[in-house]
Amino acid sequence: MKKIFWLILPVIMIFCISGCSEKEEKNISIYDLQKAVLEAGKDFPEMKTVNGSSEDAASLFTYLSDVEYEKVDAFFLSYAAEGESYEVAVVRMKENSDVKEMTDSLKAHVDDRINLYKNYEPEQVGRAEEADVFSEGKYAVLIMCDNKSDIKAAFENIINE
């Protein structure tokens, strides 16, 4: 009985200590993620993409979100060059605790886009209103297009690899 006790005890201790620490996530290259996701966008019009490697990335990021750029680990933003309602953005935060703030900010961005389209391009409003904003782990994601499920599947495939 004692032997069983002494065998089990270290195992319990290991669990006690390991349960307190955050899981280390493997960070995927944001460029690979961008490539995989955008390849799933078969019916996209001409798109422009900016990411953390872009010149003046911090300034460009402000067109997407007002979250402090210092909280962002990596991001990419892909949008229709002529202003149609096609847009994909993935933002990886440094801390899990900041993901909700980022997700809320992406929703606010979508609302702004809807208002802009209502004023200037009403034909684009429908697609903008159907935009999907969600989070997964440290990622906050915005998908605005017709084949949202394909884009989402591509995203989930690559981060779960």
Partner 1 sequence: MENENNINETEKKETVQELSITVPEKKKEKSELLGIYVMLSILLLAVTASIILSAVTLNTFMTKSAEVAAVSAEIDDEEHDESTTKENDVTIGGEYVIRSTENISDAYKSGDTSSLNDKDKETLDMAEKVLKEIIKDDMSEYEKEKAVYEWMVDNLGFDTGMLPVIPTTQADCDNPYGVLKYKNAVCVGYATTFRLFMQMMDIPCMVVHDTSEGHSWDLVQLDKNWYHTDIYSDQGNVKYVNFNMNDEMCEMSHDWDRTFFPAAESLKYNVIYNNAKEEKDIYNIPKLIKEALTKDEKYIALKLSSTISDTDATIAYQMVDYLNYSMQMTEKYMNYKLICNFAKLDEGYLFIVSISKISDESVNMTNLTEEQKKKLTESFNEAFGADGITFNLDDFINPYAQDYSDIADAATYPYENSVNESMGDESNDLVNP
As measured in angstroms, the least distance from the Cβ of 139 to partner 1 is: 18
As measured in angstroms, the least distance from the Cβ of 37 to partner 1 is: 16
SS (H, E, C) the chain: CHHHHHHHHHHHHHHHHHCCCCCCCCCCCHHHHHHHHHHCCCCCCCEEEEECCCCCHHHHHCCCCCCCHHHEEEEEEEEECCCCCCEEEEEEECCHHHHHHHHHHHHHHHHHHHHHHHHHCHHHHHHHHCCEEEEECCEEEEEECCCHHHHHHHHHHHHCC
Identity of the residue, 151 or 159, whose beta carbon is nearer to partner 1 in the bound complex = 151
As measured in angstroms, the least distance from the Cβ of 151 to partner 1 is: 16
Identity of the residue, 88 or 159, whose beta carbon is nearer to partner 1 in the bound complex = 88
Identity of the residue, 101 or 136, whose beta carbon is nearer to partner 1 in the bound complex = 101
Identity of the residue, 32 or 100, whose beta carbon is nearer to partner 1 in the bound complex = 100
Identity of the residue, 112 or 156, whose beta carbon is nearer to partner 1 in the bound complex = 112
**What is the chain's Cα-based Rg?**
20
As measured in angstroms, the least distance from the Cβ of 84 to partner 1 is: 8
Residues that bind partner 1 (CB under 8 A): 2, 6, 9, 12-13, 16-17, 19-22, 48, 50, 60, 63-64, 77, 79-84, 87, 95, 97-98, 101, 112-113, 115-116, 118-121
As measured in angstroms, the least distance from the Cβ of 161 to partner 1 is: 28
